[in-house]
């Protein structure tokens, strides 16, 4: 299975700044076999960055941060995943900021996962418990609910086109009083996710779904996180905005996974 390093820039960097950042990456990154690197700039920068990547013949991929689940129509202000075809290879779906700030529900996410697959774009489905849910011992139930909620209409062939990102909300750097997740915490949750997938799709299929970890990843902890059994890559927020850090994490991934 490939190793995925995905940078989520959230609502940061102008179009010009995004292009300068990408230029730096293009100069510094040498991709290795089995390593997939993707960046998720804001929607307005996707088109120009895709041209920049095409001109440089780089294998770095683009990832959307979000989209609307209908393919087209009277949905003022929205961008559909169909409109993103040919521009991005991936899209984040159900990031906790979408769930908790914008009120996205399991039903929305079920439709988004289906829309992404229908349009040949790989959804990176984010799941993870809040601090409260964790303290009440509800992690397993939350993960089950979020996985089943988003994937219940996806069959075994299509689930192989999905990536899951385990992002405990309490470990995301922008969460108030965020904590650093220990490799043991992550290993337990990744096992739960894998066993949930196994229950729905069977062992063989469950082992083909990449699971990424995201939450306060930086160059100091990336190596430890990448060696957790069952972790196939990282989804990085804050640290991916610093190009030196993102490049360092990519180098670490090359070493750890080679």
Which residues on neighbouring strands pair with residue 91, listed in sequence order? 64, 123
Is 167 a catalytic site residue? yes
CB atoms near residue 189 (< 10 Å):
26
69 binds ligand PEP (CB under 6 A): no
User: In the chain, how long is the greatest CA-to-CA distance?
Assistant: 51
In the complex with ligand PEP, the residue whose CB is nearer, 117 or 217, is 217
Residue in 3, 8, 52, 130 binding ligand PEP, rule: CB under 6 A: 8
* DSSP run (H or E) holding 211: strand 211-213
95, 104, 129, 196: which is the annotated catalytic residue? 95
Candidates 147, 236, 252, 253; binder of ligand PEP (CB under 6 A) is: 236
Of 123, 128, 233, 237, which one interacts with ligand PEP (CB under 6 A)? Answer: 237
66 belongs to the binding site for ligand PEP (CB under 6 A):
no
- Give the residue from 84, 85, 92, 47 showing the smallest Cα distance to 65: 92
Instruction: Decide if 95 contacts 66 (C-beta within 8 A).
Output: yes
> CB–CB of 8/240 below 8 Å?
yes
Q: Check if 207 is active-site.
A: no
Query: Which residue of 94, 128, 233, 238 would you call a contact of ligand PEP, by CB under 6 A?
Result: 238
Stretch that binds ligand PEP, among 43-51, 149-157, 232-240, 247-255 (CB under 6 A): 232-240
Instruction: For residue 148, give every residue at least 6 positions away whose Cβ sits within 8 Å of its Cβ, in sequence order, or none.
Output: 196, 200
Residues 94 and 104 sit within 8 Å (Cβ to Cβ) = yes
Of the candidate spans 21-29, 45-53, 101-109, 169-177, the one that interacts with ligand PEP by CB under 6 A turns out to be 169-177
Q: How far is the CB of 213 from ligand PEP (least distance, A)?
A: 9
> Residue numbers of the site for ligand PEP (CB under 6 A)?
8, 95, 167, 172-174, 214-217, 235-239
């Amino acid at each position: 299975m490939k190793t995925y390093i995905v940078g989520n820039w959230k609502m940061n960097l102008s179009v010009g700044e995004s292009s300068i950042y990408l230029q730096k990456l293009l100069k510094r990154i040498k991709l290795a076999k089995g390593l997939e690197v993707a960046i998720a700039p804001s929607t307005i920068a996707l088109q120009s960055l895709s041209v920049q990547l095409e001109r440089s013949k780089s294998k770095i991929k683009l990832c959307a941060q979000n989209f609307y689940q209908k393919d087209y129509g009277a949905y003022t202000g929205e961008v559909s995943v169909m409109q993103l075809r040919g521009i991005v290879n991936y899209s984040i779906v159900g990031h906790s900021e979408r769930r908790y700030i914008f009120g996205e529900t399991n039903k929305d996410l079920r439709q988004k996962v289906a829309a992404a697959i229908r349009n040949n774009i790989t959804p990176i489905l984010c799941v993870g418990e809040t601090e409260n849910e964790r303290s009440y011992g509800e992690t397993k139930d939350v993960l089950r609910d979020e996985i089943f909620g988003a994937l219940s209409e996806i069959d075994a062939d299509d689930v192989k086109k999905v990536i899951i990102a385990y992002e405990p909300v309490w470990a995301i750097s922008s969460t108030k009083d965020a904590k650093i997740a220990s490799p043991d915490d992550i290993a337990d949750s990744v096992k739960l996710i894998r066993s949930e997938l196994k229950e729905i799709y069977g062992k063989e299929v469950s082992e083909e779904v990449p699971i990424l970890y995201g939450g306060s990843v930086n160059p100091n902890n990336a190596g430890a996180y990448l060696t957790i059994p069952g972790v196939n890559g990282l989804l990085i927020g804050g640290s991916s905005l610093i190009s030196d850090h993102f490049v360092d994490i990519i180098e670490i991934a090359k070493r750890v996974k080679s």
